[in-house]
Structure 1
Amino acid sequence: MASEDVVGKSTGESAVTRIVNLAEEAKLAREGVKAPGHAILSICKSLVAGGVAGGVSRTAVAPLERLKILLQVQNPHSIQYNGTIQGLKYIWKSEGFRGLFRGNGTNCARIVPNSAVKFFSYEQASSGILWLYRRQSGNEDAQLTPVLRLGAGACAGIIAMSATYPMDMVRGRITVQTEKSPYQYRGMFHALGTVYREEGFRALYKGWLPSVIGVIPYVGLNFAVYESLKDWLIKSNPYGLVEDSELSVVTRLACGAVAGTIGQTVAYPLDVIRRRMQMVGWNNAASVVAGEGRSKGSLEYTGMIDAFRKTVHHEGFGALYKGLVPNSVKVVPSIAIAFVTYEVVKDILGVEMRISD
């Protein structure tokens, strides 16, 4: 009889436990708390969406990306590329179709993880900043302001750029190689190994400081302008652009284009300096982009400030914006495509959280 009481008691406790567990699961579901497995899957989907967005957007504008870097680092005493149209024609004539996409494989190998980390980091940073903002303001319904979005975007840009910087560094060197230059690097991994072996680990992070400084306004403004512009359009609905609280793909592309234009214009001089610093220490850089100008000191920089000073002194202030035109033509569709692709892929994969959430 006693054993029956124990069994009955145990069975009753087990039933109660199951009921409590079911109640807890229901509560968590109502509050939007996801199980660990679901959260990990959601993170993976978010990273995939960011990677796809980066690969698609960068491949679409690869020829302009290569021309921009060639314009940034070419010696003013040995001009080969005089503008966007002429530069693209020259590459096509001298290197063929493949020349337009030289370095794109390495670029995608860098941009896919970079974009994945950047978008995911922005989501996490914006969520954390919003949580702190609501606690400090005491307003549980508060939303991110443009300044807070700028901060979240800056955090995301710094994390993503630092994580993938060595690949960006060697991608710049591979990109400036031409048919007439000695092929020192056969690919990304060969370039990484060669730079590390011949120039040391620190060489893989040449130009990192101007990159960090430049990524704050660039990525920060991209996210801040894109999200703020979307919010404004949804709330004000000018010209009837909003349907069912959603913007069309074309409207979102336009928002991304505006964000990309503002961000890249502010940060562009730092991008020029970064590229030039990345060429320092490369023995074949003179024959690739500097012609006979190495003796003129065009590639000898001791640091970011020295690079700014020598560039402006020898070539004028306008040199800080070399390649801006092809970069503008590139950035506008690239940023727009990246944002929209990211959101579309997340919709396809069924990820509930959007960057605007």
Structure 2
Amino acid sequence: MASSPDQIPGQEYDYEALPSNYGLGHNMLAGAFAGIAEHSVMYPVDLLKTRMQILNPSAGGLYTGLTNAVSTIYRIEGLRTLWKGVSSVIIGAGPAHAVYFGTYEFVKELAGGNVDDGHHPLAAAMSGAAATIASDALMNPFDVMKQRMQVHGSVHKSLMQCAKSVYRAEGLQAFYVSYPTTLCMTVPFTATQFVAYESISKFMNPKGEYDPFTHCMAGGLAGAFAAGITTPLDVVKTLLQTRGLAQNEEIRSARGLFNAAAIIKRQFGWGGFLRGMRPRIISTMPSTAICWTSYEMAKAYFKSLSEN
């Protein structure tokens, strides 16, 4: 790899080291690009996960497995349904991921994660946790609207109409009732994912060079592992975010993390917490691979511009 003008002779260029003119704005642009790419490509699988997790018998009860879910949707609603509500993630994912990766790089720098070529799992975990707390505050309302539009029989035709309907019927709290549960899931998910990603990347690419294959593989493996262990909390989050659509009065009155978890255990047993695990892993593995590959590609592009 060619040396940059400011590079010390004999020292290999590390694309992960932030140059002086590479600021927060570039990280946020790279993050926005990664978020839109990730959520748009994998949206149909995310819809299948939501359908399988919903505990309302008129919706979730229709599906007995991933293959059955696809065939049922195709037969009853048509394949275009798999993209219903995608506008919510396109509009929300860009700003949310901009905040996500901007916070990640900022906290990682403060925590010493960019110092020398060593491995810094604690800095990765701290920056990942901080990133998800900030981005979820922005993304949670869009996630609520996305899932309201994804469910079987949803009457919501547009993002704005969905937002107005939810606000009139349930108030502002409906957009954030699942936020504590979301954080309980996404903080360990992101911390685990970032530590796994950084660890796998260091193992596969010890020189720290830009390598799309490494970023893709490390991102996919890290995402799959983190998704599997946090599925029970994702089921609880889905129940809270779609409670207003449930016919069951107990589900409609679910108040928070522990109350929702108790409802799932009482009505569906321990197996209820594993609903949608397969499509969650199937969607998360390529989505995190796409996300990290897109993000690292955008970072490499911006940094190549800074050298010219």
Shorter-chain TM-score bucket reads: 0.7 to 0.9
Structure 2: give runs of 5+ residues left out of the alignment.
Answer: 1-5, 7-17
CA distance in 2, matches of 1:207, 1:182: 20
- Structure 2 counterpart of 1:67, from 31, 48, 56: 48
Q: TM-score, normalised by structure 2?
A: 0.85
Bigger-Rg structure (1/2): 1
- Name the residue aligned to 1:313: 266
CA offsets per residue over residues 217-260 of structure 1, 9 Å max, x none?
A: 1111111111121112233xxxxxxxx75363223211111100
Structure 1: give runs of 5+ residues left out of the alignment.
Answer: 1-25, 27-31, 135-139, 236-243, 287-292
CA distance in 2, matches of 1:54, 1:97: 24
- Name the residue aligned to 1:115: 97
- Structure 2 counterpart of 1:83, from 65, 73, 87: 65
The code of the aligned residue for 2:163 comes to L
- Structure 2 counterpart of 1:46, from 14, 17, 27: 27
Instruction: Return the offset for 1:92.
Output: 1.9
- Structure 1 counterpart of 2:139, from 164, 176, 187: 164
Q: Structure 1 vs Structure 2: percent identity of aligned residues?
A: 24
- Name the residue aligned to 1:341: 294
- Name the residue aligned to 2:3: none
Instruction: Return the offset for 1:146.
Output: 1.2
CA distance in 1, matches of 2:139, 2:87: 15
Higher percent of residues as helix:
1
Runs ≥4 in structure 1, deviation > 6 angstroms? none
- Secondary structure of the corresponding residue to residue 213 of structure 2: helix
- Structure 1 counterpart of 2:164, from 193, 209, 213: 193
Instruction: Return the offset for 1:77.
Output: 7.7
8 Å CA contact 2:132, 2:187 repeated in 1: yes
- Name the residue aligned to 1:104: 86
1:204 has 2:158 as partner: no
CA distance in 1, matches of 2:229, 2:252: 24
Instruction: Return the offset for 1:65.
Output: 0.3
8 Å CA contact 2:181, 2:256 repeated in 1: no
CA distance in 2, matches of 1:33, 1:246: 15
CA distance in 2, matches of 1:60, 1:345: 17
RMSD over aligned CA atoms reads: 2.5
CA offsets per residue over residues 113-143 of structure 1, 9 Å max, x none?
A: 2222111110001111118xx9xxxxx7584
Return closer, same or farther for 1:100/1:165 CA change in 2, 3 Å cut-off.
Answer: same
Q: TM-score, normalised by structure 1?
A: 0.74
